[in-house]
Amino acid sequence: MVLNPVLGKLVSKRVVLASASPRRQEILTNVGLRFEVVPSWFKETLEKSSFTAPYEYAVETAKQKALEVANRMHIKHMRTPDIVIGADTIVSVDKQILEKPVDKQDAYRMLSRLNGKEHSVFTGVAIIHCHSKDNQLEMEVTDFYEETKVKFSELSEELLWEYIHSGEPMDKAGGYGIQALGGMLVEYVHGDFLNVVGFPLNHFCKKLAELYYLPSKHNIQHKKYDSIPSVDTFENLSDGESSNFTERKVASKLDHSGMHSSGAAYTSENTSAVRTGFTVPLENQNAVSQSAPKLPSKILELMDGFRASKALFVASKLKIFDHLKDKGPTKAVDIANYVGASVCGTERLLDACASLGLLEKTPQGYSNTDSANTYLTSDGKYSLHGYIIHSNDHLWPLFTNLEFAVKEGSRQNHRAFGKKADDLFKDYYHRQEVKQRFMAAMHSIARLTARDVATAFDLSQFKSACDLGGCTGALAYELVQVYPNLKVTVFDLPEVIANTSYFQPSGQHTAPVTFVSGDFFKDNLPEADLYILSRVLHDWPDEKIHVLLSKISAVCKPGSALLVAETVLDEQKTHPSVAVLQSLSMTEGKQRSSSEYKQLLEKYGFTDVQIKITGNLLDAVLCFKKNLSL
Ligand SMILES: Cc1cn([C@H]2C[C@H](O)[C@@H](COP(=O)(O)OP(=O)(O)OP(=O)(O)O)O2)c(=O)[nH]c1=O
């Protein structure tokens, strides 16, 4: 969501972040900015002694990083970006500049210098507006810096080495990351915290406000690389105040050849114009004041959502995240060879994944982000791979026929798969690969939600539980970990039970979990103090639910309980949207609100209905059987 009109100004523009830093990507993504990531190849080798102050070095490096990307994109005949953002973060102590350590000794040297002292973190930022005119690239450069003061506590050698061995210092200026373990070293921070993490967001927004909103150039008091912006705030700006930033452009001597032109560059104002290879004043440029309507960023995001989903699905299907797991940066051509796909197509897909924050791209190649390693590789404990493949192979074709589903009021299995719903359901259990895909999908969601469901209520009073339709046993295994005295029976169809061994967790005592096959609509239910229905009720029509809840109610002894795990809708039934959207492809079942679950469960003799919204994909409903028989 774009919270203020300043960032809204960038929504329709092709914005490129010339940085490989995952922190910068995250900071800008978090505020709803949409951008591509093209890491800069500019080597951070400017001669430090030629700068009179450390921040000048950071500003110049940021500028050179952004200029390199803007030029490269233009030369490679990629569509010229509208805006390129570059940044460089340095740590400065005793007038010395510390960048990223090259090895552990270097990290130790840096951290020892910071130990017990206050230092400054400077981030230089360059915003380059690009125009392609007669195939010539014109660029207008705006830059600024932000300073934050940070003080380290007195730290022991042992602690410093322990921190270094954590591996965290290596890709961070000054050899520490304040946002993670390094935060423990810090006594205080004066100034913008995000500036330390790599991007001064507040100053950036103020700078955009200056560029896009200040009424005329006469009002601008450009300061010589002043870290204090001309605007105090970027709030309450309306498009009525908008003006084209080129109105306020001033020419300056800026050399973008990659070398810092000592003396000249830092007497310039902080907005300047560059034509590739030349310095061009912009004072005569036409400046048209535009008042555009507020950009519907949410709608734009939805319009594009399908592309992003499909890129994720295809990369998962091709097992790109598996291939990159535990690997250093890998070139597109090697990935293409591995997956047996075209190099150009693979490169496009990899770039799309990088722009979505699923991969990191550096000049050395592509690598998994942390979340790709955790959630997108197929063998991770919390892997969503199974559900992603199910979404691609099963849900995508159904949603392609959504228009028919809405018009005809029925699920579109016949159109999507050439089969009726019943035949398809049989496929889940009879065709091996379909069955495994379905089980892997259910397993993905169960793993991700199991801890929150298991701990939503204190279940330690129960000695035995029966998870009806418990599939791979993911929730059961979590329950016996949380409640060591509990024994859980997983009850599911024979075809499912026959395939559960593949999903058994390794390195866990599995004896308290047993698997029993049967049909919960027809067969006797195993005895238990606690029955569990996880993601079952929403799937079935009222008649089937009647059969199931009547059976459970009948076997429940007084004091026994039923735990239901479902996404609980709000009373208006419009949130959470993940559940409302799921309803679009449902046949006979439905999602329910808190009051509907309460009403339903009370109807079958359950009382004390308690509902816990977990914040995860599944919520939990617990109710108890009183001495009532139906
Ligand atoms: C001091 C500090 C730095 N950092 C990071 C921010 C930057 O990513 C990095 C400094 O290196 P930079 O050279 O500024 O950036 P980068 O190499 O990560 O990415 P690129 O050059 O492609 O833009 O240190 C933290 O994450 N936490 C901290 O507390």
Across 451-478, average pLDDT: 96
The verdict on residue 180 lying in a domain is no
pLDDT at 272: 62
Task: For residue 22, give the ligand 1 atom closest to its CA.
Answer: 8
pLDDT above 70 covers what percent of the chain? 83
| Residue 135 zone, left/alpha/beta (φ > 0; ψ -120 to 50; rest) | left
pLDDT at 270: 61
CATH number of 605's domain: 3.40.50.150
The verdict on residue 397 lying in a domain is no
Phi, psi of 275 (to 5 degrees): -105, 145
Query: Does 591 sit in the ligand 1 pocket, CB within 6 Å?
Result: no
- The DSSP bridge partners found for residue 91 are 98, 121
Task: Select which of 88, 322, 467, 529 is catalytic.
Answer: 88
Task: For residue 172, give the ligand 1 atom closest to its CA.
Answer: 24
The verdict on residue 102 lying in a domain is no
Q: Identify whether 134 is a catalytic site residue.
A: no
Position 192 pLDDT exceeds 50? yes
Position 254 pLDDT exceeds 50? no
Q: What's the CA-to-centroid distance between 170 and ligand 1, angstroms? A: 10
Across 367-384, average pLDDT: 92
Single residue among 248, 279, 310 that ends a domain in this structure = 279
The verdict on residue 114 lying in a domain is no
Residues 67 and 127: their CA atoms lie apart, in Å, by 9
Helix (H) or strand (E) holding 97: strand 96-98
Mark whether 444 and 499 lie in a shared domain.
yes
Q: What's the CA-to-centroid distance between 101 and ligand 1, angstroms? A: 11
The residues near 243 (Cβ < 8 Å, ≥ 6 apart) are 212, 213, 214, 215, 216, 287, 289
Between 19 and 410, name the one with better pLDDT: 19
pLDDT at 221: 40
Residues 304 and 607: their CA atoms lie apart, in Å, by 46
Domains held by the chain: number: 3
Mark whether 333 and 214 lie in a shared domain.
no
Tens-place pLDDT, residues 528-537: 999 999 999 9
Residues 611 and 535: their CA atoms lie apart, in Å, by 15
What contacts 24+ positions apart, CB below 8 Å, involve 179-184?
A: 179/23
Mark whether 471 and 348 lie in a shared domain.
no
Mark whether 518 and 489 lie in a shared domain.
yes
- ipTM score for this prediction: 0.93
Position 108 pLDDT exceeds 60? yes
Q: How confident is the model at residue 13 (pLDDT cuts 50, 70, 90)?
A: confident
Task: For residue 89, give the ligand 1 atom closest to its CA.
Answer: 14
Query: Does 54 sit in the ligand 1 pocket, CB within 6 Å?
Result: no
The verdict on residue 404 lying in a domain is no
pTM of the model: 0.55
Residue nearest to atom 23 of ligand 1 (CA): 19
pLDDT at 537: 97
pLDDT at 259: 36
Residue nearest to atom 21 of ligand 1 (CA): 19
The verdict on residue 406 lying in a domain is no
Q: What's the CA-to-centroid distance between 130 and ligand 1, angstroms? A: 25
Query: Does 197 sit in the ligand 1 pocket, CB within 6 Å?
Result: yes
Angle between helices 594-603 and 542-555 (to 10 degrees): 60
Mark whether 261 and 301 lie in a shared domain.
no
The verdict on residue 106 lying in a domain is no
pLDDT at 337: 95
Q: Which residue has the tokens 């308290």?
A: 512
Between 235 and 358, name the one with better pLDDT: 358
CATH number of 45's domain: 3.90.950.10
pLDDT at 2: 45
Indicate the average pLDDT of the chain: 86
Position 246 pLDDT exceeds 50? no
Position 235 pLDDT exceeds 90? no
Position 258 pLDDT exceeds 70? no
Mark whether 526 and 591 lie in a shared domain.
yes
pLDDT at 189: 96
pLDDT at 170: 93
Q: What's the CA-to-centroid distance between 173 and ligand 1, angstroms? A: 6
Q: For the chain, what is the radius of gyration of the CA atoms?
A: 29
Residues 351 and 212: their CA atoms lie apart, in Å, by 30
The residues near 286 (Cβ < 8 Å, ≥ 6 apart) are none
Mark whether 204 and 245 lie in a shared domain.
yes
The verdict on residue 394 lying in a domain is no
Find out whether 300 and 11 touch, Cβ atoms under 8 Å.
yes
Mark whether 341 and 267 lie in a shared domain.
no
- The DSSP bridge partners found for residue 279 are 274
Mark whether 16 and 60 lie in a shared domain.
yes
Most confident of 3-17, 283-297, 543-557: 543-557
Q: What's the CA-to-centroid distance between 128 and ligand 1, angstroms? A: 20
Give the rounded distance of the alpha carbon of 282 from its chain centre: 39
Find out whether 268 and 252 touch, Cβ atoms under 8 Å.
yes
Single residue among 362, 377, 392 that ends a domain in this structure = 377
Mark whether 225 and 361 lie in a shared domain.
no
Helix (H) or strand (E) holding 89: strand 83-93
Strands laid side by side in the 530-534 sheet: 513-517, 487-492, 464-468, 530-534, 561-566, 619-625, 606-612
Mark whether 438 and 552 lie in a shared domain.
yes
Across 250-257, average pLDDT: 34
Q: Which domain holds residue 498?
A: 434-625
Across 495-513, average pLDDT: 88
CATH number of 316's domain: 1.10.10.10
Mark whether 540 and 601 lie in a shared domain.
yes
Position 283 pLDDT exceeds 60? no
Single residue among 279, 313, 344 that ends a domain in this structure = 279
Residue nearest to atom 18 of ligand 1 (CA): 21
Residues 56 and 266: their CA atoms lie apart, in Å, by 8
